[in-house]
Structure 1
Amino acid sequence: MNSLLSSNFGSAYLKVGTQFSDYGWPRYDLPEILTLNEVRSKSRDGGILGGHLCSGIESCIGGDWDLWINARDPLKRLSSGIVRFHSKAFDFVGNDLDFTGFQQKAVEKLEVLMAGPLRHEQNGVAKRLAGLAIADSVSFDRESNLETLSCFPLNSEHALLYEVAKSQLQKVKVFIIPDYLHASLICIEKMYDLPPIINLFSDLKHNPVQLGKATASQKKIFEYSLPRLREMCAIDSRLWLDIKARFKSCVSDFQISKKQIAIREAIHENGLLNHKILEKYSSDEEIISAIVRSISILCKGKKELAKDIVFEITRWSRFDPSAATEIRERALTVLGLTA
């Protein structure tokens, strides 16, 4: 999502934490933006504030804000993170244990992970949504780290957590569900009357599970811990049902079609453009020609969607209007289509 927001909204997207380029790639060479003072000084009207934040943080900055939430199935979110990046924690040598013994070992390993490297991941959707409204106390100043402030301590079994989070859910205007990313984005476009939120420099497929290279043994040991992980996610999983219902209602209200989704999926089948295109070509003519070639290659074999793909791409806000018109006309001509 950071890739899409940074590549579409540029400096209007204020990201707490790691910064991103206008092409949608992380800029680890830049200092992170973390403190309340930094965010206050850089925020602007009509901007978007993002990061690992909880609701209520916006009240520390001032102004009117629409609340957006990015949420995944809680169990899948934690499981995929563990498999990708922490599978080595489930290395285990020994075959002298029965089922209960293996399960106990797996749970021990899980709890060490959750108390250490993944302690911030316990800041699940219910706690983030309930936010400062559920905190026992909050203390901060101008130099407070907003990510740290958003991870305030809270008993995971807090009796009111679900009720407060569900109450806050009524304030949410935008639901971003990664498994239905393009439908989420089209909802945003229709709500705010925006051009397509796309990134022609990316296939939007970052951090694949394969990067973790978990062994069969590690996966098996991890599976023994799943009952305990489900317990940890119980409140989030309950709220997840409410979130899915609200999102389904949004998609229905905006009458998002399968064809609209297919067009977006086709555009992001592979990264359409190389982010070094401006370095490779020196003139506008060369750049436009390169973009038209990329579009024509993309549209081959997609006859029924080709025209819609061309129009959707050339509606991207990053294009100068005159360049977009030129690209659209040339691409349609190359594909043998008419406007």
Structure 2
Amino acid sequence: MAEDTGFKRHFNAESARYLGERIRVVHPGFDVDGYGAQIGARVGPLELKDRALVMAEGLRARLPEHYPDALDVLRACMSALTDEDKGYADGFYLMAVTRFVEEFGVDHPEASLAAMPELTRHHTCEFAVRPFVSAHYEAAMAMMRSCAVHDDHDIRRFASEGIRPRLPWARRLPKFVADPAPVLEVLELLRSDPSKYVRTSVANNLNDVSRDHPGLVLDTAERWTRESPTPETAWTVRHALRTLVKQGDQRALALLGATGGEHVEVKGLALTPEVLDLGGPLLVRVDLVNTDGRPHTVVVDYVVHHVRANGSRSPKVFKWAKVELRAGERRTLERKHPVRPISTRSYYPGEHLVEIQVNGLVKAAEAFELRV
């Protein structure tokens, strides 16, 4: 049996019984023990989203057969939750409720869409809404536009997060990958949102769009900067353009105030140690020299070309610093780069290359040997 680690540990027999007990408060007779036993018997080899599905299927088997009646039970349960209930298992176990709507509610769009703003206050419906965008487009998008002007920041965030074209862990929305105009219509309402929580979602959404429509995102960012020059809009734009900045897009860099990359040289790139054991930090040190007679603001990134299993290399860009250099100024930068095992990257021994980018222009490169 797979070990319960990471987020998936929140979807097990214990969590099922905990949820079942909360449901029984508003729906007497709910089979808490049977629900817990069923979930415990099925989730062992499964990962997070499949575990949430198993819990949703267990709910479907024990709630009223008529979906709107079952949904009313879950809405009542969620409304009765205490702060302690919301804190249990970091609230992740409540994904079973939104997964229930995602899996069994598409044939009942009126009831399901009406419930989502309420449910998302307790656990986000960003995954649940996506099949409704595909199957009931007009109704779903009308609901999302209304959520974008709601007083509750959780609901406003949902308006953006639920329609991200490439939301991680979620089914892709090919309609919006091809034409993100309806997404941008919603984001227009949120570009200067007072909540950083909401603006982060808006920036992530625009960043998704930039992978397929960079010109459209740059046009949007330029217009937002011009029409609403607030600190909130500037923050949203800066974070939305991060992929384009990593790619060295000159329009994106100019929007962030970067100038004169061609006049800034990188001297004395040094990597310490030259032979690194996996788990230790790599110290990256460079000198930036502004050779121009004018001051410049530059965005400095570094690219690590990781060795792959077949011996080839795969580049990964890491943010470093935004630096203001006076005319003729020389500035030293140092950065400790961790090289340790993480769930999203496997390390292989061999010669890794590090490049220094200034305003998207590669200015220097050096290699280090990794021992695994």
> Quick check: TM above 0.5?
no
| TM-score normalized with structure 1 length | 0.26
**Bigger strand fraction:** 2
Higher normalized contact order (CA 8 Å, seq sep 6+, divided by chain length): 1
Larger radius of gyration: 2
